[in-house]
Amino acid sequence: MKRAIVAFVCGLVFGAGLIVSQMSNPAKVIGFLDITSNWDPSLALVMGGAVVVFSLLYRLALRQGTPLLAPRFSLPEKDRLDAPLMIGALIFGVGWGLAGFCPGPAVVSAAFGDARVWAFVAAMVGAMLVYRIGLRRHQD
């Protein structure tokens, strides 16, 4: 229960950051990706600000040895630059540019009331399930 409350509060703060920075505004995202005509560099600073803060606190936390409410730090197991990583990133990037949504901002702005965002989230979740279930079958 304690962990769920922590995750909920972190989700709230994360969402607030997405709204304040306007990552949750697709037009702002498209403006950032549109480097050849009218470029809005703001989102580079969103990522920059987040990376500066997280880089520091990530390393400070690692020095503690273990997280405060969990037995260990969980890190991704994969460490190679493989084809699924690169192809997946390219597919994601095309989808990101097409609508201006990545997963976090899509969940946040689903609350804004535009039914097209729900359509995006439904298609996204559906495709996630297709991949996850396909992967599981493959592993069996």
Q: How far is the CB of 83 from another protein (least distance, A)?
A: 9
Residue whose C-alpha is closest to residue 44's, from 23, 64, 27: 23
Instruction: Encode 15-52: b = buried (16+ Cβ within 10 Å), e = exposed.
Output: bebbeebbbbbbebbebbeeeeeeebeebeebeeeeee
Q: How far is the CB of 140 from another protein (least distance, A)?
A: 13
Q: How far is the CB of 118 from another protein (least distance, A)?
A: 9
Q: Which of 136, 137, 138, 140 binds another protein (CB under 8 A)?
A: 136
* 140 in contact with another protein (CB under 8 A): no
Q: How far is the CB of 138 from another protein (least distance, A)?
A: 12
Site for another protein in 88-127 (CB under 8 A): 88-104, 106-114, 116-117, 119-127
Site for another protein in 10-29 (CB under 8 A): 10-28
**CA triple 10-28-109, angle to 5 deg:** 45
Q: How far is the CB of 23 from another protein (least distance, A)?
A: 7
Q: Which of 38, 137, 138, 139 binds another protein (CB under 8 A)?
A: 38
x-marked contacts with another protein along 44-83 as a string, rule CB under 8 A: xxxxxxxxxxxx-xx-xx--x-xxxxxxxxxxx-xxxx--
Residue whose C-alpha is closest to residue 105's, from 35, 18, 29: 18
Q: What is the DSSP letter of 112?
A: G
Q: CA dist 137 to 34, 87, 88, 130, Å?
A: 39, 21, 19, 11
